[in-house]
A and B are shown apart, each in its own frame.
Chain A
């Protein structure tokens, strides 16, 4: 009856789509959630179902020296590569964002090119090249390799923020009598600070997860966390690897939350690539 009260008809297509969306996100989350769960298990092997919970694998993680020393080294490398990238990347980003040069676009493409290269190729190439230069397997080599990959993230975020903020504030400062360096220090730098921080944090996340470059420079003093994890995973199948993975994720999520506070989540889209 076409009465005065009409209920909206169930839309089968939309329901199917929603079911699929749930399934998709379950697929996306499943392997992560399962590792987090296993990190709290009490079993020697990753068998199903889980019967008991414990923190023994976190304890094992803390006691297994290679995990801790490589995590420390990975963090050092990430910070060093980020600082180096900021030092050379920020001037480049600022210049490119405001340059009227017809080559600006080409230079930008070149500076972002490392993102499109297979990491394993970069790793092999850098190993032989740096060995030839006499650097070989060293901490400096790892930092240089990671900087090549970190740099594009810094340049991209800083340039994007700087382009967005427009010229008028700097011009206003100039009209108010500020000199070039004063404008840079009091206006430009505060404007792009969020971009620098966000870019640096992304660069550090990428660096922490990098295996293909680090792998080629692995030595007693230069093992990064992913290198140690890979070795461990290939030899043992116990959930210690789940504990260290979860720990690493917690570190990453904290970083992500910082980025979100600084820039808003939407900036992340199109960033980590």
Chain B
């Protein structure tokens, strides 16, 4: 769109490590990102997301390992020679330059002729709907407008890789959703490889081709949003991304390619799970089930379903769904169930205190 010959580049981190003093911010991290891919780095505060992004940018040095952009080792290349675009968390707009001057900065650095700079700037300003603000100073723009200037400034140079550090964090919820939509659209049009840091899981789920979940400087899981959501690799990922019911079980026996499980504290209830290599009788495992995968019924469902009996203890209306907590005898944490608010007279009418079966199909569970 900006330049017809849009190019994008793969990025890879190979065993990249970073310590600050004696604090390890990044354990050896290896990650390959394809050209044109939109990858989100997701994780709790302090887990090393920004550090990773800054290492890709060249703003932070590595202790060990190498960084490759477009099949070139850039570990020792300074940030201004890496051909990147970056949107900082607070946007980092130059306060002494107008909107147009901010956007033109990167083009000036590449010594583009003045006339061409003007047309390029005009075009991208138009694209982010800021034409009437070209001569304003950044301080006189709203948060959303500043964000768009930052985006335009980072895209106008037609970078091979776009880095975004919590680009939406300073926006209110509605604006954030609009901007997410716009960002994804622009990214798809330009096909720029994009790495975004966020700790907003919804943002990560809705924007990315791939999500990288990090904790304490470790890469825990990388995969498509659906994959990460449905098949979290471990307890941390399953709890961090969306709500999750974690049912502690003991393996009581093996039945063909399935394991027979007994949930801790619930006598007389058995569950089943596809066998994972290494599961043996007597071992403890955790089943993770998403609340929206669970249904409720008065009668006991047939044995093809996984089912546990309990009593409804709370009910909360959440707009798109109803949330129920079901307490089982002998288990401290209740099971959380989301029931779609369909407008059907039955939904939302379940009484607190009534006895129900919570049940789900075994495809809806993950063994951790």
Contact = CB atoms under 8 A, between A and B. Distances in A.
Q: What class of interface size applies to chain B in its complex with A?
A: 10 to 19
Interface in B43-88: 61-66, 73, 75-76
Contact of B14 (A4, A8, A9): A4
B15 A4 contact: yes
Contacts of B65: 4, 6
B73 to A, nearest CB: 4
Interface residues of A, number: 7
B61 A8 contact: yes
Nearest to A9: B76
Nearest to B73: A2
13 contacts: A2-B66, A3-B66, A4-B14, A4-B64, A4-B66, A5-B64, A6-B62, A6-B63, A6-B64, A6-B65, A6-B76, A8-B61, A9-B76
Contacts of B14: 4
A4 B13 CA distance: 11
A2 B64 contact: no
A8 B63 CA distance: 7
Interface of B: 14-15, 61-66, 73, 75-76
- What's the dominant secondary structure at chain A's contact region? loop
Contacts of B62: 6
A177 B343 CA distance: 62
Contacts of A2: 66, 73, 75
Given A2-B73, A4-B66, A6-B64, 9 more contacts: A2-B66, A2-B75, A4-B14, A5-B64, A6-B62, A6-B63, A6-B65, A6-B76, A9-B76
Interface in A1-51: 2-6, 8-9
Nearest to A3: B66
B321 to A, nearest CB: 46
Contacts of B15: 4
Contacts of B61: 8
Nearest to A2: B73
Contacts of B66: 2-4, 6
A8 B78 CA distance: 12
Contacts of B75: 2, 6
Nearest to B62: A6
Nearest to B64: A5
Nearest to A6: B75
Contacts of A5: 64
Q: Specify which of A3, A5, A6, A9 lies most central, judged by the most chain B CB atoms within 10 Å of its CB.
A: A6
Contacts of A9: 76
Nearest to B14: A4
A184 to B, nearest CB: 42
A8 B61 CA distance: 7
Contacts of B76: 6, 9
Listed from nearest, the 9 A-B pairs whose CB atoms lie closest are A2-B73, A2-B66, A8-B61, A4-B15, A5-B64, A6-B75, A9-B76, A4-B64, A4-B65
A5 B62 CA distance: 9
A90 B287 CA distance: 71
A2 B62 CA distance: 12
B17 to A, nearest CB: 9
A8 B76 CA distance: 8
Interface string A220-254: 00000000000000000000000000000000000
Contacts of A4: 14-15, 64-66
A116 to B, nearest CB: 29
Nearest to B65: A4
Nearest to B61: A8
A2 B66 CA distance: 7
A240 to B, nearest CB: 50
A5 B76 CA distance: 12
Contacts of A3: 66
